[in-house]
């Protein structure tokens, strides 16, 4: 017998947050979230995104044993922006049991129906910065910090329940040369002089950059990524929250922000140190030793994750992205980085994929979201 329980108590919140640790305990490809972040998603004092979202979590029990979890998320801002009546499902994990899958999905559908929602889709998070999509290819590849691992039966069971394909992403693994990118560096220097651009990381420390350019950066990110599937603009308090997280995990050698003579941001690139190993060893916990391992992974990384890259729309196709790439990739070669992976890029987002075309790469993972009408 399957029993679905809404998450309300502190114990239920903890069970919701820690279920994936038990579910994937024998899986070498799973990378935990920060446990504190997962626990705080239900706390309006910690999760500012609850201002514009309605959230409920559900746990599934079979014969008294916890076997699955799911969150239902109504993103009122995105629905208003698009005119859609969609409920998102998120934080979705379960054993390979179609009855359990069906019961969890039904709980979210019932929740959405009570708010007049017409479709259920996911997995989506609160914003595009959250983990999203289910793996459909690359089940023997380890996840990154920013992505969710899922067993192969996940997407197959959703299809059995009548879900259809929605957004699709690809993830790349990049080859790293032994020598610096001399040709790109030469081109980048000429373009930098021609467009009178300045690299802010050559002149300011990280704290000053976050304060001086942080909100401007997210204005440009919203412009560059605003038309993508499921994108929700990052604004207001959300920017401050993301910037505070950004400042803790960034290594300035692998970031670039270019400004023009008017101090306006023209292009940016963010490649983050991989903290996957540290999270695996500490099972998503920061204390007592997790924080030390995280700092070591950030300061002296062996692997990197491509996070964001973009150029102001009127300057796209001018080649100035090569300035961003030159700074980052020459430091990658210099530091002897062993592996670079991209985080998910929409299959339809040809422009972003082309930004990294200079490097040899292979698609090693694919993922997607699913959608179904609520009947």
Which percentage of the chain shows pLDDT scores above 70? Answer: 95
Interior/surface letters 59-97, b for 16+ CB within 10 angstroms, e for the rest: bbbbeeebbbbbbbbbbebbbeeeeeebbbbbbbbbeeb
Q: In the predicted model, is pLDDT for residue 135 greater than 90? A: yes
Looking at residue 141, what DSSP letter applies? S
Average pLDDT, the chain: 90
Residues of the chain with CATH 3.40.630.30: 2-169, 182-359
pLDDT at residue 289, as a whole number: 66
Q: In the predicted model, is pLDDT for residue 358 greater than 70? A: no
Q: Which CATH superfamily is domain 182-359 in?
A: Gcn5-related N-acetyltransferase (GNAT) (3.40.630.30)
Helix 237-249 to helix 290-299 angle (10° resolution) is: 80
pLDDT at residue 253, as a whole number: 93
User: Is residue 200 within 8 Å of residue 213, measured between CB atoms?
Assistant: yes
pLDDT band at 108 (very low <50, low <70, confident <90, very high): very high
* CA 139/CA 261 separation, integer angstroms: 47
Give the right CATH number for 2-169 from 3.40.50.620, 3.30.365.10, 3.40.630.30, 3.90.1170.50: 3.40.630.30
pLDDT tens per residue, range 62-87: 999 999 999 999 999 889 888 999 99
- CA neighbours closer than 13 Å in the CB half-sphere of residue 216: 18
Which percentage of the chain shows pLDDT scores above 90? Answer: 58
Q: What is the mean pLDDT of residues 292-305?
A: 86
Q: In the predicted model, is pLDDT for residue 315 greater than 80? A: yes
Q: In the predicted model, is pLDDT for residue 186 greater than 70? A: yes
> pTM for this one?
0.88
Q: What is the mean pLDDT of residues 39-64?
A: 92
pLDDT tens per residue, range 148-175: 999 999 999 999 999 999 999 999 998 8
pLDDT at residue 283, as a whole number: 81
User: Is residue 366 within 8 Å of residue 155, measured between CB atoms?
Assistant: no
pLDDT at residue 287, as a whole number: 64
Phi, psi of 74 (to 5 degrees): -100, 110
Nearest-5° Cα angle at 356, 268 to 200: 20
């Amino acid at each position: 017998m399957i029993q679905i329980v809404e998450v309300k108590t502190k114990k239920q919140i903890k069970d919701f947050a820690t279920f994936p640790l038990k579910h994937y305990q024998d899986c070498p490809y799973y990378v935990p979230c920060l446990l504190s972040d997962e626990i705080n998603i239900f706390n309006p004092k910690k999760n500012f995104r609850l201002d514009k979202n309605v959230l409920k979590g559900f746990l599934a029990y079979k014969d008294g044993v916890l076997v699955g979890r799911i969150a239902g998320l109504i993103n009122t801002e995105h629905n208003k922006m698009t005119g859609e009546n969609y409920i998102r499902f998120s934080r979705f994990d379960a054993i390979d049991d179609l009855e359990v899958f069906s019961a969890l999905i039904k709980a979210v559908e019932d929740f959405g129906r009570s708010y007049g929602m017409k479709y259920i889709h996911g997995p989506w998070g609160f914003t595009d910065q959250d983990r999203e999509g289910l793996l459909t290819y690359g089940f023997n590849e380890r996840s990154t910090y920013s992505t969710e691992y899922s067993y192969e039966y996940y997407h197959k069971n959703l299809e059995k329940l009548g879900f259809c394909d929605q957004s699709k992403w690809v993830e790349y693994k990049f080859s790293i040369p032994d020598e610096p990118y001399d040709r790109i560096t030469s081109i980048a220097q000429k373009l930098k002089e021609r467009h009178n651009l300045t690299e802010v990381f050559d002149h300011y420390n990280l704290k000053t950059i976050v304060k001086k350019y942080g909100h401007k950066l997210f204005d440009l990110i919203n412009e560059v990524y605003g038309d993508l599937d499921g994108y929700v603009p990052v604004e207001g308090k959300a920017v401050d929250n993301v910037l505070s997280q950004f400042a803790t995990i960034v290594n300035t050698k692998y970031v670039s922000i270019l400004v023009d003579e008017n101090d306006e941001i023209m292009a940016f690139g963010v490649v983050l140190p991989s903290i996957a190993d540290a999270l695996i060893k500490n099972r998503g916990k920061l204390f007592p030793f997790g924080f030390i391992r995280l700092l070591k992974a950030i300061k002296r990384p062996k692997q990197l994750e491509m996070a964001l890259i973009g150029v102001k729309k009127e300057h796209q196709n001018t080649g100035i992205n090569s300035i961003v790439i030159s700074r980052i990739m020459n430091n990658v070669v210099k530091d002897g980085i062993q592996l670079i992976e991209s985080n998910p890029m929409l299959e339809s987002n040809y422009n972003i994929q082309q930004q990294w075309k200079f490097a040899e790469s292979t698609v090693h993972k694919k993922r997607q979201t699913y959608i179904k009408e609520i009947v």
